[in-house]
Amino acid sequence: MISKYTFNNITWVDLQSPTPEEVAHLVEEFSIPELVAEEFISETVRSKVDLYKDLIFLVLHFPVNHHKKNASEQEIDFVIGKNFLITIHYELVNPLHEFFKKFEANALLDKNTMGNHAGHLFYHIIKQLYKNVMTELDSFNPDLKKIERDIFEGKEAETVRTISNLNKHLIDYRQSIRFHYDTLKSFETAGKKFFEPEFSFYLESILGEYNKIKSILENHRDVLTDLRETNDSLLSSKTNETMRILTIITFLLTPVTVIASIFMMNTDFTLIKTYNDFYIILGAMLLTSTITFIFFRLKKWL
């Protein structure tokens, strides 16, 4: 599906799930090299930048909303010319859809806020995409707060899975943007050659947007690591306390068990002859357990 709009001599073409016929049309209209056109048909594993005579070809991957379970990232291909920009993706990208509305509104209102060449348009789109990622990362804050509350409310065992799930989402986000810095640095070099020198500010600003995302990700990872260590410490302490209580019970019952076992032997030895003898043996068991308990206390084992 092709969406196309032109404003202030800048043409933006957005292509979702391109067909060979649609790609062929773009190749003819914008003189796109065949090597670039081949990239449109299938997804690219890694981000990349290629500089051609009349355009820059850029591939970036962005993380998907962490509430979605079918994929962890989305690929967006950019073909940037002097007066045109082509975006190619293989499923709906909400930030692009929202930005297209903004671009259309500016055209209707005749507001020139997108600059005077396609590089400026690309800059605004990247800002919108990173803004969306930042919003998604901000949505992790309530989850981190909830984990903190649950840890100190004695829900350590239940929190283990919550921490693991959140950590998986953070890993997916980090994996999605892991090549962005190197790719954007290469784009900065290519952009300085392709556009006028004044565009350098925008190229550096794009890297600044990426650094904000990276900083938030690292902060979330550090906080989650601290929470995991705290949760593991409390869980280990609770487990140790449980084992300590079980050990005390075992030691206190051991003498009683030994005495009871002696009287359970199938022999002719009979000590209990009267009703009172039973209570004597019971008292011996209690006395033995008490002596054992006092001994452990004196040794400071309890």
Given 237, 258, 285, which residue is the final one in a domain? Answer: 237
Structural domains in the chain (count): 2
207 and 257 co-located in one domain:
no
Least confident span in 205-214, 230-239, 282-291:
282-291
- List the one residue out of 26, 17, 9, 6 whose CA is nearest residue 100: 6
pLDDT at 285 over 80: no
170 and 84 co-located in one domain:
yes
Provide mean pLDDT across the span 136-162. Answer: 86
Given 202, 237, 272, which residue is the final one in a domain? Answer: 237
231 and 250 co-located in one domain:
no
72 and 173 co-located in one domain:
yes
Query: Please, are residues 220 and 95 in contact by the beta-carbon 8 Å criterion?
Result: no
Query: Please, are residues 169 and 140 in contact by the beta-carbon 8 Å criterion?
Result: yes
Could you tell me the residue range of the domain that residue 253 belongs to?
245-298
Q: In what order do the strands lie in the sheet with 48-51?
A: 2-7, 10-16, 84-89, 73-80, 56-63, 48-51
Three-state DSSP class for 301? Answer: coil
257 and 182 co-located in one domain:
no
State how far the Cα of 132 lies from the Cα of 170, in Å rounded to an integer. Answer: 15
103 and 189 co-located in one domain:
yes
Farthest CA pair distance, the chain: 113
- The H or E element containing residue 234 is helix 200-263
79 and 188 co-located in one domain:
yes
CATH of the domain at 37: 3.30.460.20
pLDDT at 113 over 60: no
Three-state DSSP class for 56? Answer: strand
222 and 254 co-located in one domain:
no
For position 108, what pLDDT does the model report? 46
Least confident span in 15-24, 225-234, 247-256, 270-279:
270-279
The identity of residue 241, as a single letter, is: E
128 and 260 co-located in one domain:
no
Given 237, 258, 289, which residue is the final one in a domain? Answer: 237
259 and 165 co-located in one domain:
no
CB contact set of 26 (below 8 Å; sequence gap of 6+): 13, 15, 32, 37, 40, 86
State how far the Cα of 241 lies from the Cα of 302, in Å rounded to an integer. Answer: 11
Which tokens belong to 10? Answer: 């800048």
103 and 25 co-located in one domain:
yes
58 and 138 co-located in one domain:
yes
- List the one residue out of 166, 167, 168, 102 whose CA is nearest residue 129: 102
